[in-house]
Structure 1
């Protein structure tokens, strides 16, 4: 077998030293290379590449075209380069189109041997738009029936306006008779016979005029016309090239070497020019893929499928400048489940310490207190450098909550809320599937009862707190909320605190099946019933507390602190 039975057309426009390194690797092993340099490449860089490869007789340079993404000039450059290769290298039987940032995944002799087994087969991805609607940007069949004289990248406004004008006027181009448009990867490997037939077709001028106004013709010109001339088509590319959800190619770095070992392709694009390890390995005699290690292309597909999903949906609870979704974003707004308790620390003495001891969770205080940010254990700084600074918290309360949960993932986060705290994050929490909100309604009255406020001031505060909590409870009663919500009145909680606290433990530690064997210490409520009655007599009825009995009955109903019977025995 002659090594020169396969030749390469290389399109290069940046990082020319790396392109030259690849060309030398191929040419020094007997494989001819024709390089097309974009006309926009600085003359000094182009001359440096020509000088560096001057000693290689089988490296040629094609006439230059000023290429633009998605424009006809890409096809013109490919046509001119392929024509030069076919004319100068009569022994070549297959022509592979590659880019300057490509690298071989296997010894090039293996690729030559492989093609030698399929002398009449064209390896080119070629599918109809109707069968595989994979295109990005909303233009599928229209790319063949509208005109696209403007660059999508550099003339976006003109591009969009001209497309809309054609749609409004009902303009449609006539597809040349005898062809059915196909799409596929730009990187192909065609036989000499097929390539010569396309370039020497009597109708080439007609086809060129038509495709010159097709959108991204380098992904449809050869893919369509090869169907007219090929003896045998294998609709796949021999080049590994992956794309993200926006249609942009993934770049391969040094740490992708193990992934590339699983590929069954012969070439890879697009390699980062400073991926020194990849260049050293892939341009050496020890290629990425070894014969004794079978390829597993499905593993690569899995990695990139996950990468596409990650790029499109992000990581739950992670927000940053490059990914700041709208309120309707489907991915989770927070990183992990969290638990919000309203009224519990008013009713249970030392609730935070008790909850932390029983569950192992990180239990913060009232994180949205107007004057402070009481992290658990009095910390002044939380994970990730999140400071206990009310001013910074209040600049973006929702962002503060999201950062707290992102930085604290791996550990259950709990915090207290109350009507006398800031209410900025209520709407955020009730629409968050990670939020578990437990409320003892009316428990704020205990705080007022314990305060030293004059009665009239306490009455006004009670009226305000009840309005705030009533509004919050109204939010919690909305239909279709994804958050988990538990609401009980203060009267119900006092009547049987063990049951409610056991439910709390079951939610936080569903797998532990731990049952309370000791009742927590409730706050001293002596005189509380009379306080509520005074509020009612003054015209402020605390209806959210539930039906609290008069003082003597209330004190008798409170569970004593040394009770050892479990409410869930």
Structure 2
């Protein structure tokens, strides 16, 4: 006894002829169906190419549009020819013109001979199906689908909505329990003939003509009525992406296909010369002898789907860039943002760089230019210090900086005088570590030799901007790690918060700080704040500075930041 192949072809007929010849010359009858939409000239060439093989037949042609009844009708007619003209066939294997045998024909014959009454067809009830795309599981059996999903999508969707609205449902014939599964099966002669010779076939066919994608449900449903040994799996390797489209295998998938141990794979790229040459050879050592197990390569496909749908963390793919929150992580690596530190400490960037072993930038979002570390005008990834270029797309500027410096933590200064376009972006970024000394922006104003009226107006504006930033950082949706201190409480005990910051940036150093960076001269700062009050501006973000001019002194109380989660 042997196995016969039914091939449904519609494109790449030269490759279909090559595979059909391979099966036929190894003793397996082949019945070929060619889509009616294929031009006559191509069909005639295929018939001529296989004309010298006595065990190859051609069936009547049907138009096989995806999701319609024509595919089932073509399978029925070709299968009837197979059963009628080749009585030695015990199993019928349904394949497509883009299928490729992965193992020697003799192995498949021996495998099926050891299981003479087993039907291999994926057949799962609609409640257990999780792979359908489009939201139609049971509804595909209770609605009518007279319109093509591909050619008349509006009519298709509109008619579905109409049927849902008026509650129109079809009656499922008695004894029919809808099942779904892969189109590619291998059935025994007894099972297939029982389905094709069913006395109620006319009524069943009439019902399935208006089922959506009947080739995934017709045989899958009827096999449950007539077979008592169904293995709900396919011997054909067929993988689909997240959109329900079949994966196409190329030459570089050779080892993956071998690892699957399946007998047949689809869909093969017509120009994959290496695959066809490897698997259509007569060398039995080229393929392994094992139980078909496509699950062995499922992990690779799952990773491929994840990479395609999510991308790499912090790298914005062109296909998802315009869509908000479609990114896989806002940035590629952790980074630190410091507000007020460079105002309170002299040469803070240099000190932090030495303490943590990282390069520390100045104000990357300063209004005049980008202050890269070391005063560089161009940084990793060809990022320039032009403020106009940065402000054209500040989000891309920051994400590109983090992506192009992966492996080296980025630290930069921020303040109310900088561009505030990214405050929401950074606050929602789990990679951001934001440390704020509120009110420190007043120190440069205190040291400036400007008209006090101008100072008062600028102080009011800067305080308003920083207050808005702090409000954002206190929001419930914030994912960044945020620490804030008022200026007064920070200078009471600066070592503890500085040690915490250094430990987070360089967790492996485990080095205790011996000295803090040099504080700016704050003599008379309290009186400066009182003068602002006297001029009608109320400074509230600095904390409690006495108007006498005496500085807050370190005491027994340990200054603790409040952490916003």
**Fold match, TM over 0.5?**
yes
Work out the CA distance in 1 between the residues paired with 2:280 and 2:378: 50
CA change 1:82–1:365 in 2 (3 A) is farther
Work out the CA distance in 2 between the residues paired with 1:257 and 1:362: 46
Within the candidate set 69, 72, 91, 1:72 is matched to 69
Displacement after TM superposition at 1:191 (Å): 1.1
Work out the CA distance in 2 between the residues paired with 1:267 and 1:381: 55
Task: Specify the alignment match of 1:562 in structure 2.
Answer: none
Displacement after TM superposition at 1:343 (Å): 1.1
Within the candidate set 421, 444, 447, 1:447 is matched to 444
Work out the CA distance in 2 between the residues paired with 1:382 and 1:188: 58
Work out the CA distance in 1 between the residues paired with 2:448 and 2:506: 34
- Structure 2 residue 486 is the aligned partner of structure 1 residue 481: no
Q: Secondary structure at the match of 1:11?
A: strand
Task: Specify the alignment match of 2:175 in structure 1.
Answer: 178
Work out the CA distance in 2 between the residues paired with 1:452 and 1:202: 102
Work out the CA distance in 1 between the residues paired with 2:368 and 2:468: 22
CA change 1:233–1:484 in 2 (3 A) is same
- Structure 2 residue 88 is the aligned partner of structure 1 residue 91: yes
Deviations 1:230-251, CA, capped at 9 Å, x for gaps: 2421111001112222222222
Note the residue ranges of structure 1 that are not aligned, 5 or more in a row.
Answer: 560-566
Displacement after TM superposition at 1:298 (Å): 4.2
Deviates more, 1:206-215 or 1:282-291: 282-291
Within the candidate set 252, 255, 260, 2:257 is matched to 260
- Structure 2 residue 353 is the aligned partner of structure 1 residue 356: yes
Q: Secondary structure at the match of 1:9?
A: strand
- Structure 2 residue 6 is the aligned partner of structure 1 residue 12: no
Q: Secondary structure at the match of 1:157?
A: helix
Q: Secondary structure at the match of 2:550?
A: helix
Deviates more, 1:512-521 or 1:483-492: 512-521
Work out the CA distance in 2 between the residues paired with 1:542 and 1:269: 72
Deviates more, 1:312-321 or 1:246-255: 312-321
Q: Secondary structure at the match of 2:541?
A: helix
Q: Where does 1:427-446 land on structure 2 (aligned, <5 Å)?
A: 427-446=424-443
Within the candidate set 522, 527, 539, 1:542 is matched to 539
Work out the CA distance in 2 between the residues paired with 1:203 and 1:384: 70
Work out the CA distance in 1 between the residues paired with 2:504 and 2:388: 33
Deviations 1:356-383, CA, capped at 9 Å, x for gaps: 3332334333222223223333344444
CA change 1:516–1:301 in 2 (3 A) is same
Note the residue ranges of structure 2 that are not aligned, 5 or more in a row.
Answer: 561-565
How many pairs are equivalent? 556
Q: Secondary structure at the match of 2:119?
A: strand
CA change 1:491–1:205 in 2 (3 A) is same
Displacement after TM superposition at 1:550 (Å): 5.8
Displacement after TM superposition at 1:430 (Å): 1.4
CA change 1:28–1:465 in 2 (3 A) is same
- Structure 2 residue 492 is the aligned partner of structure 1 residue 495: yes
Contact kept in structure 1, 2:316 and 2:327, CA below 8 Å: no
Work out the CA distance in 2 between the residues paired with 1:451 and 1:280: 80
- Structure 2 residue 387 is the aligned partner of structure 1 residue 394: no
- Structure 2 residue 110 is the aligned partner of structure 1 residue 113: yes
Work out the CA distance in 2 between the residues paired with 1:229 and 1:294: 26
Within the candidate set 146, 151, 156, 1:149 is matched to 146
Displacement after TM superposition at 1:314 (Å): 3.8
Contact kept in structure 2, 1:261 and 1:288, CA below 8 Å: no
Contact kept in structure 1, 2:279 and 2:286, CA below 8 Å: no
Q: Secondary structure at the match of 1:553?
A: coil
Contact kept in structure 1, 2:311 and 2:327, CA below 8 Å: no
Deviates more, 1:477-486 or 1:201-210: 477-486
TM-score, with structure 2 as normaliser: 0.91
Work out the CA distance in 2 between the residues paired with 1:21 and 1:360: 64
Q: Secondary structure at the match of 1:536?
A: helix
Q: Secondary structure at the match of 2:233?
A: coil
Task: Specify the alignment match of 1:563 in structure 2.
Answer: none
Contact kept in structure 2, 1:103 and 1:271, CA below 8 Å: yes
Work out the CA distance in 2 between the residues paired with 1:61 and 1:335: 57
Work out the CA distance in 2 between the residues paired with 1:148 and 1:16: 30
Work out the CA distance in 2 between the residues paired with 1:311 and 1:253: 17
TM-score, with structure 1 as normaliser: 0.90
CA change 1:341–1:211 in 2 (3 A) is same
